[in-house]
Amino acid sequence: MKLMVSNLRAVGIVGLGAWLPEQKITNHDLMKLVDTSDQWILTRTGISERRKASAEEAASDLGTKAAQKALAMAKVKAEDVDLIIVATVTPDMFFPATACLVQKNLGAVKAAAFDLSAACSGFLYALAVGSQFVATGAYDTVLVVAAEVLTKIVNWEDRHSCILFGDGAGAAVLQAVEKDTGFLSFDLGADGTGGDLLKVPAGGSRKPACQETVQNKEHFLVMSGNEVFKFAVKAMADTSLKALEKAGLSQEDLACLIPHQANTRIIEAVRKRLGLPAEKVFINLDRYGNMSSASIPVALAEAVEKGYLHKGDLLLLVGFGAGLTWGSAVMKWVV
Ligand code: UT7
């Protein structure tokens, strides 16, 4: 997918926001729930702690707070937003869309709103979709939100998965930017044959909720960790190279790689395949775990806040997730 057709506008992120619930769950806390250890979690995943939403907090609450920060940074009023896309696998409910709830919370009265489901690749998919509207001139301001409350869908008795995930939200405001800046390329992909590797089996139209599905804990996330691990390394490296090629760039041109924060061993394997030095890869999963679609925007917001990214820097965002899905974007940073 190329955005460099001459009559299209260049599109970039002009505002970013992240919001994380206050409560921290440490590896030591998890040792009270399942048979695990701080050392196992740290060495096998790189995670020390993750955040947990309160019983009252849902995806739209986290997403709204991240969106308010992104709008403030972009100096955009909520009523000027044309479209809101929320990427999430933990929507408040089946419908209405979480994006409509965020729209109401923000008072974004003229915005169209819909949700997008691409799991951990959701933020990248939503950036790609949202930027098309700005590139064509259909809309001037698109708000992309990634909000997840994964702690409410993990099985706290399954040590293979409950140690990995955390809650959080990130948001980005997309607008037209100077030519040859902002998004330079996207690469998106999917392989539905791997759908069983990471899923919530029940609660949808295939297996509606009933007493039996609740008893069998089929409303919780199930995952084949090793299979997903192998897929992740290959998919992230391949999609990164494709996005770089589409942008006419190579790895050496990059100032920064912001990968989906799932496992430091996955990130390290991808870094090596891409031949990037460790200091160019931004990692924050030690503090937040895997927040699915929210991982990349939260990491991006932190990278900017910490002065890790500067105007004019070339960066690569890359992710993978359930579906299976993957995606990447090459950008020239504009703020
Ligand atoms: O956004 C996408 C979401 N999914 C992912 O990113 C998942 C990708 N996969 C992974 O990150 C890794 O596969 C895991 C972290 C999930 C697992 O790490 P692993 O190195 O692949 O471990 P394993 O599943 O091969 O398990 C090794 C051993 C097993 O023991 P045995 O059977 O060899 O005796 C597990 O039972 O480690 C055991 N184990 C644990 N031990 C302590 C599994 N989970 C735990 C645990 N604490 N939490």
Q: Which CATH number does the domain housing residue 195 bear? A: 3.40.47.10
The domain in which residue 127 lies consists of: 11-179
DSSP 220: S
Sign of the four-CA dihedral 319, 187, 125, 252:
positive
Specify if 5 maps to a domain.
no
Q: What pTM value is reported for the model?
A: 0.96
Specify if 2 maps to a domain.
no
Report residue 53 as tokens.
């939403």
What is the whole-number distance in angstroms between the Cα of residue 150 and the centre of ligand 1?
Answer: 18
Among candidate residues 149, 179, 209, the one where a domain is terminated: 179
- Phi then psi for residue 76, to 5 deg, are -115, 135
Is 152 in the same domain as 32? yes
What is the whole-number distance in angstroms between the Cα of residue 238 and the centre of ligand 1?
Answer: 24
Among candidate residues 158, 179, 200, the one where a domain is terminated: 179
Is 167 in the same domain as 207? no
Is 152 in the same domain as 260? no
Q: Which residues contact 280 (CB under 8 A, 6 or more apart)?
A: 254, 255, 256, 257
Count of residues in the chain:
335
Is 120 considered catalytic here? yes
288, 166 contact by CB (below 8 A): yes
DSSP-derived 3-state class of residue 53: coil
Sign of the four-CA dihedral 312, 86, 47, 43:
negative
Dist CA 4 CA 183 (whole Å)? 9
Is 22 in the same domain as 64? yes
Is 260 considered catalytic here? yes
Sign of the four-CA dihedral 211, 215, 216, 222:
positive
Specify if 259 maps to a domain.
yes
Is 219 considered catalytic here? no
How much is the pLDDT for 139? 98
- Choosing from 36, 43, 48, 229 the residue with most ligand 1 atoms within 8 A of its CB, the one to mutate for a pocket test is 229
How much is the pLDDT for 227? 96
DSSP 10: P
pLDDT, tens only, 59-84: 999 999 999 999 999 999 999 999 99
pLDDT by position in tens, the chain (length 335):
655 556 899 999 999 999 999 999 999 999 999 999 999 999 999 999 999 999 999 999 999 999 999 999 999 999 999 999 999 999 999 999 999 999 999 999 999 999 999 999 999 999 999 999 999 999 999 999 999 999 999 999 999 999 999 999 999 999 999 999 999 999 999 999 999 999 999 999 999 999 999 999 999 999 999 999 999 999 999 999 999 999 999 999 999 999 999 999 999 999 999 999 999 999 999 999 999 999 999 999 999 999 999 999 999 999 999 999 999 999 999 98
Is 156 in the same domain as 191? no
16, 73 contact by CB (below 8 A): yes
11, 134 contact by CB (below 8 A): yes
Is 218 in the same domain as 296? yes
Closest CA to 282 of 249, 260, 251: 260
Specify if 1 maps to a domain.
no
Nearest CA to ligand 1 atom 14: 225
Dist CA 297 CA 310 (whole Å)? 16
Is 79 in the same domain as 152? yes
State the DSSP string of 87-119: E-SS-SSSSS-HHHHHHHHHT-TT-EEEEE--G
